[in-house]
Amino acid sequence: MTGPGGFSWDSSELTKSKYQMYVSDGRTTGNYSLVIPSVMLNHTGRYLCYNKQPTRDKIIKHYVLLVCPKSEPITEFLFEGEEVVLRCNSDITESDRVVWYRKTGHVGNVIKDKEPYKQTNYPKDLVGRINASNPPYYLVLSNLSLADSGEYWCAVFYERVCVSVTKTVLVEWDPFGINSTFYRVYSSLMACALLGMVCVLITVNLKTRRRDQASLKTRRTEAQRQRSSRVEEEEGESDEGRGEMKESEEEK
């Protein structure tokens, strides 16, 4: 197998951690897929899977892997019959290669590839419904339908290196959905109501705790008073007993 930079590996060598990839064990299944657990920018390049032959190696599969930097997705809403503008958030020059790609439903294909001497062939379902700027830093899709829902990427390449990517998620507008004004207002009201309930619960707990503390203090005061009364009574009874004994001795 050959990867970026023209390096060639044997399947056993790819298990080494320095390559950050490995080949699945196909001795029983026949599946010798190349697995890259964590794709990085330096994995960009051409990958050839071939079977070594005595005279000439036989190429089994040829891949071109283009790795782009991460970016936060942009959400655009789809209204049936209307149009939407998809923008490429990058500074584009004439020498840059711009590729627009989409993934809708179970279909993924290139919408437009701005490459020298390459003719633009839009997907059949977009013919007559798409307009692009030149250079193609934005696309306009018109007469939208639910089938247009999905993900759209704009990737910019400079000297065969992906320098930026813009991901736009086109979703159906739902007046009661998570992105609607109704949902935001409802969420705010529910948050306020929940906060109010928490405040009421805290207030009730504090009042209950104060009442319990006051009751406990009252019970302690009453117990101390009763204890003092018993001590005084016991002391009084003891004094009376001593007085009676003294009078009895005097009589004798």
pLDDT at 141: 94
The CATH number of 74-172, from 3.40.718.10, 3.40.50.1110, 2.60.40.10, 3.40.50.1820, is: 2.60.40.10
| pLDDT tens digits for range 17-50 | 555 778 777 777 778 788 888 888 888 888 888 7
> Residue 240 — pLDDT band, cuts 50, 70, 90?
low
Q: Is the pLDDT of residue 153 over 80?
A: yes
Q: Contact 176/186 with Cβ under 8 angstroms?
A: no
For residue 192, the model assigns a pLDDT of: 78
In the predicted model, is pLDDT for residue 203 greater than 60?
yes
pTM above 0.75, yes or no: no
Sorting pLDDT into bands at 50, 70 and 90, what band is 151? very high
Is the per-residue pLDDT at 170 higher than 60? yes
Predicted local confidence at residue 140, as pLDDT? 93
Q: Whole-angstrom Cα distance, residue 63 to residue 53?
A: 20
83 contacts 142 by C-beta, under 8 angstroms: yes
pLDDT greater than 60 at residue 7: no
What is the phi/psi pair of residue 153, to 5°?
A: -115, 140
β pairing state of 45-51 and 58-65: antiparallel
The ranges assigned to domains in the chain are 4-65, 74-172, 175-252
Q: Is the pLDDT of residue 58 over 70?
A: yes
Query: Smallest Cα–Cα separation from 32: which of 22, 44, 42?
Result: 22
Q: What pLDDT does 116 receive?
A: 55
In this predicted structure, what is the pLDDT of residue 86? 93
104-111: average pLDDT: 80
- What pLDDT does residue 181 have? 55
